[in-house]
C-alpha cells in the first residue's frame, strides 16, 4: 500500500509532462506558468497563510533561501519546460528530466563532499550517451553540424535548475514544515513570474486550455507534492527517489497513448541507457578512493 504514494506522484508528474506538451499552442507558456501557481496560491492561502503567520519567527531567517528555491524549483524549471514543449516532444522531455537525480548527485559530490563512487562515474558516462542518442534522434554525429534542438536545450536547463533546487534543499535542510515551505515557494513563483506574464502575449483562458491549467495546478502542483511527501515519510528518501526512474517510461507510454507520439528505436535505446546510468549511480556506491 505504501508504494502507491510514489507511484501516484510519478503518474501525475508524467501526465503533467504530456499536459505541458498539450499546452503548446493552446495557451502562451508565460500564461500557464503564472496561472498554475496563482491558482495554487489562492487554494493554499486559506489553510496555510495562518500557519505561516504564526510561524513567522521561524520563517523570517530563511526567506532568502526560500526565494532562491522558489525561483529554481517553481518558476524557472516549469517555465523553461513550457517554452520547450513547443519545440520538442513529451517523450524527449521525460527522458531528459530523468537525468535530474544524477545531476543532483553530481552537485552533492562537488559541493557537499559526498564521496565520488564508481557508479557515479560510469553512470554519468552511460546516461550522457543515452541522452545524446535521444536528442540527436539516433544520429549523434549530426549534432556536430546541426547543433542541439532548442527545445531539448531548454529542457536540459530546466532539469539542471530542478537538480540545483533538489541539491539546495538537501544542503540547507530548512527546518520548516514541508507544506509551509511549499506554500512559500508558490508565492515566490507568483511574484517572479508576474512581470513575464504582464509583458507576454495573451491567449486567455478558454474551454480548450482551462483543463490543462487545472491539471497543472491541482494535480501536479498540489496533490503530487503531498503524496510524494507521504512516500518519503513512509518509505524514506532513498527508496522513494528510486521511483523517479520510472518517469521517462510512464511519460513515453502516456505520450504515445494521448499524443500519438511515435516511439522510435532511439527513444528505447537512449531511454534505457539513461535509466541504466542513473541506476548505476544510485546503487553502485563503492568510492573511487578508499580512506586509508
CA distance 222 to 36: 10
Place of cell 499524443: 259
3-state SS, residue 165: helix
At residue 288, the pLDDT reads 80
| Residue environment code for 196-207, b if the CB has 16+ CB neighbours within 10 A, otherwise e | bbeeeeebeeee
Place of cell 549523434: 140
Percent with pLDDT over 70 in the chain? 96
Measured over the CA atoms of residue 151, residue 157, residue 160 and residue 164, the dihedral's sign is negative
pLDDT tens digits, 64-77: 999 999 999 999 99
pLDDT tens digits, 212-257: 999 999 999 999 988 988 888 888 776 777 788 788 888 988 998 9
At residue 290, the pLDDT reads 54
At residue 145, the pLDDT reads 65
Average pLDDT in the 114-129 region? 84
CA distance 221 to 87: 23
CA distance 217 to 173: 26
CA distance 256 to 149: 21
CA distance 158 to 81: 6
pLDDT bracket for residue 29 (50, 70, 90) = very high
pLDDT tens digits, 6-27: 899 999 999 999 999 999 989 9
- Four-CA torsion 177, 16, 270, 98, nearest 10 degrees: -10
Other beta carbons within 10 angstroms of residue 114's beta carbon come to: 16
Nine-digit cell at 218?
A: 491541482
Going along 158-286, which residue ranges are E strands?
Answer: none
At residue 144, the pLDDT reads 62
pLDDT tens digits, 163-204: 999 889 888 988 899 999 999 999 999 999 999 999 998 899
Amino acid at each position: 500500500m505504501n508504494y502507491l504514494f510514489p507511484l501516484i506522484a510519478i503518474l501525475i508528474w508524467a501526465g503533467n509532462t504530456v499536459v505541458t506538451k498539450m499546452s503548446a499552442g493552446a495557451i502562451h507558456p508565460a500564461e500557464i506558468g503564472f496561472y498554475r501557481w496563482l491558482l495554487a496560491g489562492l487554494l493554499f492561502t486559506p489553510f496555510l497563510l495562518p500557519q505561516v503567520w504564526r510561524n513567522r519567527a521561524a520563517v523570517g531567517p530563511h526567506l532568502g533561501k526560500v526565494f532562491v528555491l522558489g525561483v529554481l524549483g517553481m518558476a524557472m524549471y516549469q517555465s523553461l519546460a513550457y517554452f520547450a514543449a513547443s519545440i520538442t516532444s513529451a517523450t524527449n522531455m521525460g527522458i531528459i528530466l530523468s537525468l535530474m537525480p544524477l545531476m543532483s548527485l553530481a552537485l552533492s559530490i562537488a559541493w557537499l563532499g559526498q564521496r565520488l563512487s564508481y557508479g557515479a562515474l560510469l553512470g554519468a558516462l552511460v546516461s550522457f550517451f543515452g541522452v545524446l542518442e535521444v536528442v540527436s534522434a539516433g544520429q549523434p554525429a549530426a549534432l556536430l553540424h546541426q547543433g542541439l534542438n532548442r527545445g531539448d536545450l531548454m529542457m536540459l536547463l530546466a532539469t539542471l535548475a530542478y537538480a540545483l533546487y533538489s541539491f539546495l534543499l538537501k544542503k540547507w535542510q530548512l527546518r520548516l514544515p514541508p507544506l509551509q515551505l511549499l506554500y512559500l515557494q508558490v508565492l515566490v513563483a507568483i511574484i517572479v513570474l508576474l512581470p513575464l506574464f504582464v509583458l507576454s502575449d495573451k491567449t486567455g483562458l478558454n474551454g480548450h486550455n482551462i483543463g490543462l491549467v487545472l491539471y497543472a495546478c491541482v494535480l501536479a502542483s498540489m496533490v503530487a507534492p503531498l503524496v510524494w511527501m507521504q512516500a518519503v515519510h513512509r518509505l524514506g528518501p532513498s527508496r522513494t527517489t528510486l521511483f523517479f526512474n520510472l518517469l521517462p517510461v510512464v511519460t513515453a507510454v502516456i505520450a504515445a497513448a494521448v499524443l500519438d507520439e511515435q516511439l522510435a528505436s532511439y527513444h528505447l535505446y537512449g531511454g534505457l541507457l539513461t535509466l541504466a546510468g542513473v541506476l548505476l549511480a544510485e546503487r553502485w556506491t563503492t568510492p573511487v578512493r578508499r580512506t586509508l
